[in-house]
Structure 1
Amino acid sequence: MNEVRKIIHIDMDAFYASVEQRDNPEYRGKPLAVGSSPSQRGVVAAASYEARKFGIHSAIASSMAVAKCPHLIIVRPRFEVYRSISAQIHTIFKRYTDIFEPVALDEAYLDVSENKQNIPYASTIARLIRAEIFAETNLTASAGISINKFLAKMASGINKPNGMKVILPEDAIAFVESLPIEKFHGIGKVTAAKMQSLGIRTGADLKERSLNFLVQQFGKSGQYYYNIARAQDERIVEPNRIRKSIGAENSFALDLSDKATILMELEQIAETLHERLEKHQTSGRTLTLKVKFSDYQQITRSRTFGSSINSLDTIITEAIALLGTIELGDRSIRLLGISLSNLDNVQTSQIIQLPLFQL
């Protein structure tokens, strides 16, 4: 019989927004969003709990957020500050285990099956970590504790903010069976809608479907859905994850239609990508160009090379060549992005979610 794992998912509460409210007393208790302004056609990167009461959440357009809450405060993100605090939090993790996997600046999985302080209960470790985070950063975190990553992730959202939840092994199946399908981590809105159209509305409904049926309907993801319906998740906590790609992109305040301006912006994005490649001392074989038009249609074009590339001149030349394969017509562009994948073996112990917009 396999030894039961002890996995903790730590999730900071409204992280970016909470940092801004911590550092600016005048923002406390008020609806606040971190992002760019409606005049820049920006989006919300994070929303305070006061803002969430108005239906404001990350990725919503700033203009829509202001329409929902006219007195919403919007502040520009300070990613260097957020990264610094995230590093502080990781130092706290290391007091208990070196086996932790950051999946963003504000969340991480920890495997405490064996831990540095020989504490028998994962719930005790989670409680101590949350207390130390608050003592050292004056920010709150929520935690989920269970036997695998999926259950720990689901548990961390149950008693937010500033709470924790334990899902014991004997309760795992019942918990999953009772869960509405749209609440499952890894099942997005489109997939949830398709499942509901197939009569799958809860974890219990999902569990009734065969593996063949789920693979036929959802492709490779069918195996994952089959497993989580049974509270099974064999993914390990990976302290060093292989970075799959490095990219840069920019969303524009005004749509681009002039070709010279488009090429200039493309070069600037290529320069940002090149800087990131240099920082990680890597190169890659597949270059991908992303173009999003003003009507939100998105097109990508890729080219894979026989050997790895990372020179700025090559990135610019090939990105422009890929752009030439897209029929622009009279359409204007709202976003451009370039990424490099099939990277030379680069590991990072801190996976950082880069913003989807530049400010």
Structure 2
Amino acid sequence: MSPHTAPIVDTAHDLELAERILAPDGSRVPNPQLDRHLTDLTPQTLRDLHRDMVVLRRIDAEGVALQRQGQLGLWAPCQGQEAAQIGTARALAPQDFVFPSYRETGVMYVRGAQPGDYVRMWRGEEGAAYDPAALRMAPLQIIIGAQTLHAAGYALGIRNEGIDEVAVAYFGDGATSQGDVNEAMIFASSYRAPVVFVCQNNHWAISEPVGLQSQYPLAGRAPGFGIPSLRVDGNDVLACLAAMRWALEHARSGKGPAYLEAVTYRMGPHTTADDPKRYRDDAELEAWRRRDPITRLEAHLRAAGQLDEAHLAAVQEAADAAAREMRAACLGMTTRPPLAVFDGVYAEPHSGLARQREQYRAYLDTFAEA
């Protein structure tokens, strides 16, 4: 059935309405709509996707640990969303340009992020989290939904220049209630801009459940703007890979924007400043643990005889190495002196800036006195 036509409240039980390739037990589900986008799959491809998700989960856990230990000011966990991020990002072409929110650690990983790139912004160090030109990925966006406008505008530039690129905007279910997202879809549809909108519906906009925001699947909003959409099981990495290939093919061929809703679940807090136990039921959390994206692919590989101990050991070694390198990069960063924030603001010094600098210095001195 077309995922954008199902009139039902989006709960943990409506995943049957989402397109999938792998069932929660790892068995293969025939899907004529998506199977044609996976004809090149090999056992090694599946093992690589498994490795990616395991490494991502380890990086994410290290980010939480670093924040709890006082090394980061904040961290936005993505546990549970590994398939949605790895699957869609692995479908991208090198020249495509990504506009993320603040939770796309997995997309950063796929695009070639270096160990320090994951933590630089959350530590509050100088510069962006990474080099946007190197990763073909805009800086992490904290303003909810703003990146969709940036992606639509960039995509219009792609169209005007006639180059082989697609802009991709990632956002959460909460962002779909923002005007920016809806305005971006109007703009992209009107000008047939080559942009893919990827909504990771993780069921919670901080403490607000998605069912409170929308009584219908979020993928159903896009057709109202003239944008074709697919609703996929966001914990099925193969469905996410295939759906993203469909969306990119659509956008790259000049047909205009496409929209994906990846139905997944945020297993941890919204950020490390959040306590999900205050608003989330433990039974719901446990129900989604049984849909874990990593164990699902592992079950599929085991059934096919393609998962051995050597692979698992190599994957664990790669995950631990990534975490060690990330921690070392974080602890090795040199923080600029606080007053250096005023350096380079203007080409020439002036009295207004000098006054602000002195006021800030006096403020910092109060901490030393305490």
Identify the structure with the greater helix proportion. Answer: 2
TM-score range, shorter chain: under 0.3
Higher relative contact order, chain-length normalized (CA < 8 Å, sep 6+)? 2
Q: TM-score, normalised by structure 2?
A: 0.26
Comparing both structures, which one devotes a greater share of its residues to strand? 1
